[in-house]
């Protein structure tokens, strides 16, 4: 089984080749154009996808050393994501599958983030829990089989990646600010400042309160000391990161307790955060969990995870008709 997978849900154009269950290439073109606007501009994202998609796909096939005549299926992200971005990948995949006369496989981007764990040699056993934390989502998912997963709790407002990025923006850092908060946090004291953690009764999350609290905290301190951010950047970043990570882990602990599941995974762009990785590893040791954390390149958006999800669908003969169109709000 040789699958070419395409990911174009947001601002990364990516293509990957999977041969007999193994990823042979994973090419990612990140769109830098959005940095100057402080966030992803949908219209610019779809244009950039249009420019990148052909070279990215050709590169992925070349890196895998696989002629396209040997492909067995084309997979693509159907949603969730930005409509214009999804359209580029979807249309490209449809055309290519039609041209090669091979099946098409649609993939749910959030399922794929979870299934990224099966790219690695050390894989979680079923059932497992996955904390999926990204730019648009924050979910606790229970996975009973590769294509049998259920969201147990999720954010009711902002995603945690958004909380990282918006906090960074308040600090005057460029987009996407999540990785920069991570970087500065390494030099800071995580207990320097306290921010209120919102208390949701179940397994759901809320991150809009902490964002507002950070905004007022910075405004008040900058009023008395205009150099406050510059002088205390590391401590502020460390404290914000610590608070967000604690909010995530509190719910994960609760989900593990309620289900009795001890196979625990994390996925999505924010799982690249070193504070989260360290804290989760430590919590896992305390709780006797087996922890699964993807390699960095499989945390943020990539087509390798789309290929892996497609592999499971291919095995079940779950193909997609040519009439398919993207679903920007596709649910699990
Ligand atoms: P979704 O998957 O929900 O559609 P997305 O695809 O935009 O959203 P990802 O690419 O999975 O999200 O993740 C991007 C997010 O991850 C951004 O918010 C980014 O700031 C955040 N992120 C990446 N690296 C780090 C890091 N080291 N620390 C904190 N946040 C990070
Ligand atoms: Mg992205
Ligand atoms: Fe994503």
- Edge-first strand order for the sheet with 138-145 is 148-154, 138-145, 128-133, 263-267, 290-292
Structural domains of the chain sorted by starting position, each given as residue range(s) with its CATH number in brackets: 2-115+298-316 (3.30.420.40), 125-293 (3.30.420.40)
pLDDT digits (tens, 9 = 90+) for 161-189: 999 999 999 999 999 999 999 999 999 99
* Ligand 1, atom 13: closest residue by C-alpha: 269
Does position 148 have pLDDT exceeding 90, yes or no? yes
Cα 161 to ligand 1 centre (Å): 5
* Residue 240, pLDDT score: 98
Ligand sitting nearest the alpha carbon of 139: 1
- Alpha-helical runs (H) found in the chain: 42-64, 83-100, 109-115, 160-170, 178-185, 208-224, 228-259, 274-287, 303-315
Q: Determine contact, residues 160/244, Cβ cutoff 8 Å.
A: yes
Neighbours of 285 (CB within 10 A): 10
Instruction: Pick the closest to residue 176 from 303, 34, 275, 27 (CA basis).
Output: 34
ipTM value for the complex: 0.97
Ligand 1 pocket, residue 275 CB under 6 Å: no
User: Please, what is the end-to-end C-alpha distance for the chain in angstroms?
Assistant: 25
- Token pair of 319, please? 């193909």
Ligand 1 pocket, residue 273 CB under 6 Å: yes
Q: Determine contact, residues 73/96, Cβ cutoff 8 Å.
A: no
* Residue 201, pLDDT score: 84
pLDDT digits (tens, 9 = 90+) for 199-256: 888 999 999 999 999 999 999 999 999 999 999 999 999 999 999 999 999 999 999 9
Instruction: State the Cα angle at 53 between 47 and 58, rounded to 5°.
Output: 160
Q: Which atom of ligand 1 is nearest to the CA of 12?
A: 10
Q: Determine contact, residues 275/133, Cβ cutoff 8 Å.
A: no
């Amino acid at each position: 089984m040789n699958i070419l997978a395409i990911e174009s849900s947001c601002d990364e154009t990516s293509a990957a080749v999977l041969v007999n269950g193994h990823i042979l290439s994973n090419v990612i073109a990140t769109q830098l154009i959005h940095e100057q606007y402080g966030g992803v501009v949908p219209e610019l994202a779809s244009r950039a996808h249009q420019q990148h998609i052909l070279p990215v796909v050709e590169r992925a096939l070349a890196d895998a050393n696989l002629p396209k005549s040997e492909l067995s299926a084309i997979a693509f992200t159907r949603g969730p994501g930005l409509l214009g971005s999804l359209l580029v990948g979807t249309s490209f995949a449809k055309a290519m599958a039609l041209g090669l006369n091979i099946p098409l496989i649609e993939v749910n981007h959030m399922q794929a983030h979870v299934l990224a764990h099966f790219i690695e040699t050390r894989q979680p056993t079923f059932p497992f829990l996955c904390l999926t934390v990204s730019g648009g989502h924050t979910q606790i998912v229970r996975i009973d089989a590769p294509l049998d997963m259920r969201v147990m709790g999720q954010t009711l407002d902002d995603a945690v990646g958004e909380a990282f990025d918006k906090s960074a923006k308040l600090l005057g850092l460029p987009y996407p600010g999540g990785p920069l908060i991570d970087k500065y946090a390494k030099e800071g004291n995580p207990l320097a400042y306290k921010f209120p953690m919102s208390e949701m009764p179940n397994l759901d999350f809320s991150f809009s309160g902490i964002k507002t609290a950070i905004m007022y905290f910075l405004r008040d301190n900058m009023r008395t000391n205009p150099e406050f951010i510059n002088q205390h950047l590391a401590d502020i970043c460390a404290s914000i990161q610590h608070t967000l990570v604690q909010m995530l882990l509190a719910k994960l602990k609760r989900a593990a307790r309620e289900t009795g599941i001890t196979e625990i995974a994390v996925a999505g762009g924010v799982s690249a955060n070193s504070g989260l990785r360290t804290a989760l590893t430590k919590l896992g040791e305390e709780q006797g969990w087996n922890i699964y954390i993807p390699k960095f390149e499989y945390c943020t958006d990539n087509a390798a995870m789309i290929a892996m999800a497609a592999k499971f669908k291919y095995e079940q003969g779950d193909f997609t008709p040519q009439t398919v169109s993207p679903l920007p709000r596709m649910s699990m």
